[in-house]
Amino acid sequence: MPVRWIASGTTYANSFVYGNVLVDAGVLPMAVEPYAGTIETIVITHAHYDHIAHVREIARICGDAAVCIHEADAPGLMDDTRSLAMHFGARSPGVVPDTTLCDGDHLGSLRVIHTPGHTPGGICLYDAETRVLFSGDTVFTGGSFGRYDFPGGDRSALAASIERLSALEVVGLYPGHGEPATVGGGRHVAAAREALRYYG
């Protein structure tokens, strides 16, 4: 199954279309519109504003697609402090999720992996068959990792989350920011693990 990258072109987060799933909703709705007929579910990797800014509008243009987020981050869809919306001069979208997710849940072929550390309810999505990992702000290409100094961040939790991801066989790595890696994704995860261990 192909991954379609919707780059934000701004300080906002990447979005990805994978089958009938949209991962994250910070990009402008017009960028998602070409895929609106296929998107049935919007999965938010964590509730920071740059990943949720346009979730209400995107859900609407996708025929009221279901909005899903980990239960620990769900309050950020309503709470400006949890979402860091004030850093963007904005307000949280004020959306109640249709589904709250837990570790081990499945959305089609995608398994939800709870990866706290950047936020309490951060998640990654992994397809074991295609070895694709949507990593949100847990790990990025180039061996970097999400900040843990925001409210709710936790360095030890982030280290444990990245350690868990390093056990996966990852070919394609699709992070919340920056360029994806279509091959060798596991090397980027391993590099992030080592960087956080020694320099984080």
Interacting residues of 64 by C-beta distance below 8 A, sequence separation 6+: none
Using an 8 Å Cβ cutoff, are 171 and 186 in contact? yes
List, for residues 23-75, the tens digit of each pLDDT value.
Answer: 999 999 999 999 999 999 999 999 999 999 999 999 999 999 999 999 999 99
Domain total in the chain: 1
The domain in which residue 110 lies consists of: 3-198
**Residue-level pLDDT at 200:** 60
Using an 8 Å Cβ cutoff, are 14 and 176 in contact? yes
Using an 8 Å Cβ cutoff, are 192 and 147 in contact? no
Interacting residues of 114 by C-beta distance below 8 A, sequence separation 6+: 70, 102, 103, 121, 122, 123, 161
57: three-class secondary structure by DSSP: helix
What pTM value is reported for the model? Answer: 0.96
Instruction: Check which CATH number belongs to the domain holding 19 and give it.
Output: 3.60.15.10
Residues in the chain: 200
